[in-house]
Copies of this chain bind each other. A is one copy, B any other.
């Protein structure tokens, strides 16, 4: 749903398909390359749903699209309504670990360590980009910061998983599998 709304928002003034992709990638700092084909399929769906309409061609013969009234309302609604986090995105890594701890043949500790290496590498890549000046323009910089914050959280979570796994392993050998410290309820 994100691409759909992003394109709508970029259509504050009439634009053509190829331009929309360029605008999208410029703003997101090329962190998420957007396939051109998706722009056109999305535009035709938006046209079908009455949110955009073809607005003739420009001087170079490129076919322009513009928002309808319904489209303007949709954009406003998108910005006025927060992104739903009560039913969060499926996360492959969390699923992987959740499944792994229940499959006896898997060395979960190793999975965690390898993932930390991979995420750490991605994080260093983001920081390098930020230092090289890619984070200086505002929109792209915010996206880059987002990736940094998310990667740091992922690494913290992986550390947390390791310690929790160690505790679980210890308590499974001990007779009483009770929480060590006094967590009230």
Contact = CB atoms under 8 A, between A and B. Distances in A.
B161 A91 contact: no
Q: Which of A143, A150, A168 has the most CB of B within 10 A?
A: A150
A122 B157 contact: no
A73 interface: no
Given A122-B88, A154-B85, A160-B149, A5 B96 contact: yes
A133 to B, nearest CB: 8
B32 A82 contact: no
Interface of A: 1-3, 5-6, 9-10, 12, 27-29, 31-32, 78-86, 88-103, 105-106, 111, 114-115, 117-119, 121-122, 125, 131, 133, 138-143, 145-147, 149-154, 156-157, 160-161, 164-165, 168, 183, 185
Per assembly, the copies of the chain total: 2
A141 B153 CA distance: 16
A3 to B, nearest CB: 8
Given A86-B121, A131-B183, 20 more contacts: A3-B90, A3-B95, A6-B99, A10-B99, A10-B103, A27-B99, A31-B88, A82-B115, A88-B147, A98-B139, A131-B185, A133-B185, A138-B164, A141-B164, A145-B157, A145-B161, A149-B160, A150-B157, A152-B153, A153-B153
